[in-house]
Every structure is written in structure tokens, then in C-alpha cells.
Amino acid sequence: MIPAATNASANIRQLRGGQITIPAEFRKKLGIEDNTLLRVSVGKGELHIRPVQIDGAADQTWLTELYDLFAPVRDEAVSRDERQIDAAIDEAVTAVRRKYE
């Protein structure tokens, strides 16, 4: 892990669709490998990316597999705005609740 006091930065350009590449030296310092899940958050005008660590779970294969299962849903969601996604979620929740009433 990069110590908190270490300030490393790089200028990068996003690719089509907003994809970015994390520089290899940063990935190495953070122990980010091909199967490492990352948490992305935004706050105070900054984007933060950090490796996800799940306490007590040495094997995170199940989480990676679950994430991969949702890839088609994430791809479809890109073409929808937040209101449409919220409406679809509300509709699905209502349908499930009706089923169990």
C-alpha cells in the first residue's frame, strides 16, 4: 500500500466511455492485480479509487463472479438516466412485494 503521506499523481486522459487506465506503478504500489475489485467514490470535486478489501474473506472469487454476472445490467444502465433506473427499481420492488403479500 502507498503510505498516506506519499503524494503521487499523474495526468491521464479518459478513453471513450469514460474509461481510465491506472498507471502501472500505482497499481503495483497498491497491490492491484487483474482480479482486484476497486471502490470508486466522488467527493469534494475529487475522484477516489481504492482496492476493495473484504475482512475475513481470503477468497474473493465469489464477489468477482457476482460482479461479472451484473456486467450486462451495467452495460444496459449506461444508456439510461438516473430517473429511468430509479423507476425500474421501484417497479421491480413493487412487483416483488405484491408477489409476497
Interval 1-39: pLDDT, tens: 455 546 788 899 988 888 899 999 999 999 898 878 899
Q: How far apart, in whole angstroms, are the C-alpha atoms of residue 100 and residue 6?
A: 53
Model confidence pTM above 0.75: no
Fold classification of 1-53 (topology level): Pemi-like Protein 1; Chain: D (2.10.260)
Q: How far apart, in whole angstroms, are the C-alpha atoms of residue 101 and residue 91?
A: 16
**pLDDT value at 65 more than 70:** yes
Domain parsing of the chain, residue ranges: 1-53
Residue 101 to residues 5, 69, 87, 92, Cα–Cα distance (Å): 55, 29, 21, 14
Residue 36 to residues 49, 63, 100, Cα–Cα distance (Å): 12, 10, 38
